[in-house]
Chain A
């Protein structure tokens, strides 16, 4: 205990000294998130300094081992760090799919060479990763993917197309599911490959969404050569890695709404916008919907907290990520609908010169994708029914 108290004091002092003032304000714009990567342009010196200092301590990935660029912190220490960061309202020094998704998969399935090569560069924000999973004919039925990797002796030759690749146009490397055995049953012929997006034959095309933004791309592979040593795990055993990584993606998407939407307290937002009379919101029907939602939201946050605490105590249920993804994204959509109701036509502005944040209308439209990306709500319910409830499987 004494050690943790010392750690708390030291952490607090270090953050006080090293977290730039500009990094202690809430994130409001897209460019407030630092994604890193070869071609990344920081928006201001504070962003650069904050990443450099945090990465220097290994605190962009506090629980990873020091040899992989991490901070080597115990879960208790990491919890303290998180609390202290929150206390001063610090922004994340780095957000990245490398940290959230590829990192955990490499730690579990990667060779020592893979870990040493890739993890420290993820931790320092030097390489930005994207995820090559979905294809035009492999969405919910992901395992039917057709992008093929042919064995050419010292390398694989990749041909095919991915879609919904988040930020492919801005990424340096891709972790990619490819078919290495077209004759095997669909789950047993898939491999997990890493390769450089600057390789010859890789091209990307952004997809414009109904919200006006383009966070996703179509990604094309035309005779792309990938060295054999870039295979993670065994040949044709990539599906297990893919599934493991998806559980991390689900948790990330399920939890992401917490930061994503404005008006973290819908009741307070509504009270401010619509007004109250004798302590209750003027619009009684809307109030009833808001309170029902807010209670579910509170229950969801507590469930996230319990899932994390149980995982730490070694008592977690594995398939819980599907539940969190399902509830979190459905609630996030509902939250966006309620925010729209609170704001009326004001919320439907497509451009708003008076507010630096993206207009609510775009956030509302974007939220509709939450329950599709990373496995639809229907797929999550399938997973719960099968893996948690052990219900009999139909045809």
Chain B
């Protein structure tokens, strides 16, 4: 498995670059933010992305998708990370499609995967219940009732939650909070009685919702996969998500860095470009090295997930932790090196640090993944 990007993937990247530059530049995110858009993304843009086949990038061909694989999905995320393009791509085309593929019942796949691939359904994953990522700590209870279940509890910061057509809910059907066994997944329409959605406004201007479940009745066939055994497939899907988020963060870091380099070449003080100062050159060169290390890790992780290697979860944590470090450094340095203008809302660089921080927290921050990395290694 050579650590190089194939020609096929290069073509996909070029197409994505061109498309996003034209239809979804950073200014589009600014417009969305300033217009208090109820969706938090542009449905027309999502429709165009769908026409490019992106919504079905992980959906098998027999369900109407492209089945292009995780490396391709990661590259799209990297490009979206450069332009900060908001869309349901991550929640729906990556997380929901992966979970449906892994543990969906045939009827669920048949119904929903073609809709995802056609951009006709937004599907959110309702997972965490507190302020930080903690998949083992799920408390939301699903109690057996008749031939189905009754759900009670809270979910927090559900990505694309308030505009989803369906949610995949991780619930506790057995075991104690903090344990891995006893978790189950359910696929639920969002208009079901007892569900209440509250949109929360986040720093990156994207969409999340807190969801309350009060006596929500679901049928037995809404269960995805095996009762009580959702933890493992969930972790597997989360690793795909973490790798893709890392790829997005690589894109964000690269773009913030390139914009900073441009500024270092142009901005003059003391009669010379500030990029000629060694103190800034060394910081830029160090940052370049860090970004290149992240690039290697992300590529390896995507390739490994695509090949279903056993080392994937270790690599996913490496990628997510490293990405948080690097994008944090890249966006902080971007502001510092831009000086005062970097602090203004008028200038775009602020959008990068905002999105970077949310992506860093999503599905596990640096500390979560550093700890997981060490535990996998036995210390």
A267-B379, A392-B276 known; A327-B293 Cβ under 8 A: yes
Whether A292 lies near B370 (C-beta < 8 A) is: yes
Whether B4 lies near A313 (C-beta < 8 A) is: yes
Whether B379 lies near A300 (C-beta < 8 A) is: no
Q: Does A116 contact B (CB under 8 A)?
A: no
Q: How far is the CB of A323 from chain B (nearest CB, A)?
A: 5
Q: How far is the CB of B293 from chain A (nearest CB, A)?
A: 4
Binds B, one of A35-43, A50-58, A97-105, A376-384: A376-384
Whether B377 lies near A268 (C-beta < 8 A) is: yes
Contact residues on B (Cβ < 8 Å of other chain), bracket: 35 or more
A315–B5 CA distance with the chains assembled, in angstroms: 10
A295–B322 CA distance with the chains assembled, in angstroms: 7
Encode B351-379 as 1/0 by CB contact (under 8 A) with A: 00000000000000000001101110111
Please indicate the chain B residues that have their CB under 8 angstroms from the CB of A326 in the complex: 285, 289
Binds A, one of B35-43, B105-113, B294-302, B339-347: B294-302
Q: How far is the CB of A371 from chain B (nearest CB, A)?
A: 13
Whether A305 lies near B3 (C-beta < 8 A) is: yes
Q: How far is the CB of B325 from chain A (nearest CB, A)?
A: 8
A319–B290 CA distance with the chains assembled, in angstroms: 15
Q: Does A151 contact B (CB under 8 A)?
A: no
Q: How far is the CB of A265 from chain B (nearest CB, A)?
A: 7
Q: Does B11 contact A (CB under 8 A)?
A: no
Q: Does A299 contact B (CB under 8 A)?
A: yes
Whether B273 lies near A392 (C-beta < 8 A) is: yes
Q: Does A391 contact B (CB under 8 A)?
A: yes
B275 contacts which of A302, A378, A392 (Cβ < 8 Å)?
A392
Whether B370 lies near A288 (C-beta < 8 A) is: yes
A295-B321, A299-B322 known; A382-B293 Cβ under 8 A: no
Whether A309 lies near B3 (C-beta < 8 A) is: yes
Please indicate the chain A residues that have their CB under 8 angstroms from the CB of B285 in the complex: 326, 380-382, 384-385, 388-389
A290–B264 CA distance with the chains assembled, in angstroms: 34
Q: How far is the CB of B272 from chain A (nearest CB, A)?
A: 7
A265-B377, A288-B370, A389-B288 known; A310-B264 Cβ under 8 A: no
A323 contacts which of B280, B289, B300 (Cβ < 8 Å)?
B289
Whether A309 lies near B297 (C-beta < 8 A) is: no
B276 contacts which of A265, A381, A388, A394 (Cβ < 8 Å)?
A394
Whether B2 lies near A270 (C-beta < 8 A) is: no
Please indicate the chain B residues that have their CB under 8 angstroms from the CB of A309 in the complex: 2-4
Q: How far is the CB of A147 from chain B (nearest CB, A)?
A: 29
Whether A392 lies near B272 (C-beta < 8 A) is: yes
A280-B379, A299-B318 known; A315-B4 Cβ under 8 A: yes
A270 closest partner in B (C-beta): B379
Whether A271 lies near B378 (C-beta < 8 A) is: yes
Q: Does A276 contact B (CB under 8 A)?
A: yes
Please indicate the chain B residues that have their CB under 8 angstroms from the CB of A113 in the complex: none
- Give residues of chain A (269-304) contacting chain B, Cβ–Cβ below 8 Å: 270-271, 276, 279-281, 287-288, 290-292, 294-296, 298-300, 302-303
Which has the most chain B C-beta neighbours within 10 Å: A300, A390, A391, A393?
A391
A378-B282, A392-B265 known; A279-B375 Cβ under 8 A: yes
- Give residues of chain B (292-318) contacting chain A, Cβ–Cβ below 8 Å: 292-297, 299-300, 318
Please indicate the chain A residues that have their CB under 8 angstroms from the CB of B295 in the complex: 303, 306
Please indicate the chain B residues that have their CB under 8 angstroms from the CB of A392 in the complex: 264-265, 272-273, 275-276
B258 closest partner in A (C-beta): A389
Q: How far is the CB of A64 from chain B (nearest CB, A)?
A: 23
Please indicate the chain B residues that have their CB under 8 angstroms from the CB of A267 in the complex: 374, 377-379
Whether B288 lies near A384 (C-beta < 8 A) is: yes
Encode A161-183 as 1/0 by CB contact (under 8 A) with B: 00000000000000000000000
Q: Does B269 contact A (CB under 8 A)?
A: no
Please indicate the chain A residues that have their CB under 8 angstroms from the CB of B297 in the complex: 298-299, 302
A42–B378 CA distance with the chains assembled, in angstroms: 40
Whether B286 lies near A381 (C-beta < 8 A) is: yes
Q: Does B284 contact A (CB under 8 A)?
A: yes
A288–B239 CA distance with the chains assembled, in angstroms: 22
- Give residues of chain B (81-105) contacting chain A, Cβ–Cβ below 8 Å: none
Whether B2 lies near A313 (C-beta < 8 A) is: yes
Q: Does A260 contact B (CB under 8 A)?
A: no
Q: Does A312 contact B (CB under 8 A)?
A: yes
Q: Does B145 contact A (CB under 8 A)?
A: no
Whether A303 lies near B377 (C-beta < 8 A) is: no
Please indicate the chain B residues that have their CB under 8 angstroms from the CB of A386 in the complex: 281
A391 contacts which of B265, B374, B377 (Cβ < 8 Å)?
B265
Whether A381 lies near B282 (C-beta < 8 A) is: yes
Please indicate the chain A residues that have their CB under 8 angstroms from the CB of B147 in the complex: none
Please indicate the chain B residues that have their CB under 8 angstroms from the CB of A385 in the complex: 278, 281-282, 284-285
A380–B322 CA distance with the chains assembled, in angstroms: 23
Please indicate the chain A residues that have their CB under 8 angstroms from the CB of B177 in the complex: none
Please indicate the chain B residues that have their CB under 8 angstroms from the CB of A310 in the complex: 3-4
A282 closest partner in B (C-beta): B379
A296–B329 CA distance with the chains assembled, in angstroms: 14
A378–B278 CA distance with the chains assembled, in angstroms: 10
Q: How far is the CB of A375 from chain B (nearest CB, A)?
A: 13
Q: Does B195 contact A (CB under 8 A)?
A: no
A388–B288 CA distance with the chains assembled, in angstroms: 9
Whether A295 lies near B2 (C-beta < 8 A) is: no
Whether A391 lies near B286 (C-beta < 8 A) is: no
Whether B373 lies near A291 (C-beta < 8 A) is: yes
Please indicate the chain B residues that have their CB under 8 angstroms from the CB of A389 in the complex: 261, 281, 284-285, 288
A298–B297 CA distance with the chains assembled, in angstroms: 8
Whether B278 lies near A382 (C-beta < 8 A) is: yes
A310 closest partner in B (C-beta): B4
Please indicate the chain B residues that have their CB under 8 angstroms from the CB of A279 in the complex: 375, 378-379
Which has the most chain B C-beta neighbours within 10 Å: A281, A298, A300?
A298
A234–B46 CA distance with the chains assembled, in angstroms: 61
Instruction: Give chain B's interface residues, CB within 8 Å of chain A.
Output: 2-4, 261, 264-265, 272-273, 275-278, 280-282, 284-286, 288-289, 292-297, 299-300, 318, 321-322, 370-371, 373-375, 377-379
The 4 nearest A-B residue pairs measured at CB: A385-B281, A384-B285, A394-B276, A299-B293
Instruction: Give chain A's interface residues, CB within 8 Å of chain B.
Output: 265, 267-268, 270-271, 276, 279-281, 287-288, 290-292, 294-296, 298-300, 302-303, 305-306, 309-310, 312-313, 315, 320, 323, 326-327, 378, 380-382, 384-386, 388-394
Contacts A281-B379, A290-B374, A290-B379 aside, 15 further interface pairs with beta carbons under 8 A come to: A265-B377, A267-B378, A271-B378, A276-B379, A298-B318, A299-B318, A303-B292, A303-B296, A305-B296, A305-B300, A323-B288, A326-B285, A385-B284, A389-B261, A392-B272
